[in-house]
Amino acid sequence: MAINRRLYLQLLAHFDALVTEKHVTRAAEKMGIGQPAMSGALSRLREMFNDPILVRTGSGMEPTERALLLAQQINEAMRLIEDAVSHDGSVDLQEADGHYRVLASEGIAHLLLPQLMRLVRAKAPNIQLSFSPGDIRVLNNVLRDGDADLGIGFVRNPPDSLYHTVLYHQRLVCIASIDHPKIQGTISLDELLAFPHVVWGGPPVPYPTMEVLIDELLAERQVSRKVGLRIPTFLLAPEIVATTDMLAILPERVARPHEGKSLQVFQLPFNVGSIDICLYWHERRHRDPVHAWLRSAIKQVAPELGEY
């Protein structure tokens, strides 16, 4: 089938959307075209590759085995084409624009954004950033599908398909009120378990990895903590703990400024190890020069947020 080069590249992009979304209407929305146009693209792709591309199953439309194989080859080809056409190794940051979406908890955003935005406003004032929480367990899919451009957080087993770099290491500590009726100066495991905890993990946080790790480590010791309150950001914990007999486990960077004023800060009576906060991104944005600069900017300001 004769086809010009521009149409060929458009069809390859449409192919990627169809295989990723497994749905003609969603693929059309992703590409910003109408559903009839995407249906026409699917027909041309079927003719081009002599393959159905998508077939109906009991659970909906699914790519054929050949389509999945082609998708790998086409993604690599599109990446090479994008590199050759768009990336010359330099970028005018003062003129750069675009919207970059970052998946990160409210706590990380609170710590990171003041320094980051000062740098962004000075170097790349026309770019737009959005920070929002999300389910870290589906980080790979979110970055792969373009629903976010960067992810920041603690991922216990990061997928090999993502690039990542450590931004900073953080320790977890336990906090108690400076006026706590029973705990003064030190804390034992029994004392840690005797009082209810303020736990990060209320809506909109769908999966607080840090808290899950703590509960698993306690379960290995065949014990568990009492949960008295779930909150959407650990930034609320110091004020709540300071006025009650409740406890909380949270990053040392958040706890230490309150030490000796309203809170006691303790090392945990069991080993957790370092919690690495990492920056994650997908191959699809790896060579975007503005994206690369933004990664370096985040890396530049992150050491200020490390071990206290």
- CATH number, domain containing residue 62: 1.10.10.10
Q: Greatest CA span in the chain, whole angstroms?
A: 82
Is residue 91 included in any domain, yes or no? no
Residues 242 and 257 in one domain: yes
Does residue 80 have a pLDDT over 80? no
Instruction: Examine the domain organization and report whether 64 and 210 are in the same domain.
Output: no
Q: Identify the CATH number of the domain in which residue 222 sits.
A: 3.40.190.10
The domain total for the chain is 3
Which residues form the domain of 234? 172-273
Q: Please determine, for residue 281, whether its predicted confidence score (pLDDT) is greater than 80.
A: yes
195 in the same domain as 267: yes
Residue where one domain finishes, among candidates 86, 119, 153:
86
The answer to whether residue 93 is domain-embedded is no
Measured CA to CA in angstroms, residue 261 lies from 177, 182, 242 at distances of 9, 18, 9
What confidence tens digit (pLDDT) does each residue in 194-248 have?
Answer: 999 999 987 666 678 889 899 999 999 999 999 999 998 888 999 999 999 999 9
Asked if residue 80 is part of any domain, the answer here is yes
pLDDT at 170: 84
Question: Structure tokens of 10?
Answer: 């458009």
| Token pair recorded at residue 194 | 């005797």
Predicted TM-score of the model (pTM): 0.67
Give the tens place of pLDDT for each residue, 126-173.
999 999 988 888 898 899 888 999 999 988 888 778 888 888 888 899
Q: Do both 40 and 159 map to the same domain?
A: no
Alpha helices (H) along 87-233: 106-123, 139-144, 189-194, 209-220
- Which residues, 6 or more positions from 193, have their beta carbon under 8 angstroms from its beta carbon? 218, 223, 224, 225, 226
> Among 32-46, 82-96, 176-190, 215-229, which is the least confidently predicted range?
82-96
pLDDT higher for 30 or 192?
A: 192
Mark residue 22 as left, alpha or beta (left: phi above 0; alpha: psi -120 to 50; beta: remaining): left
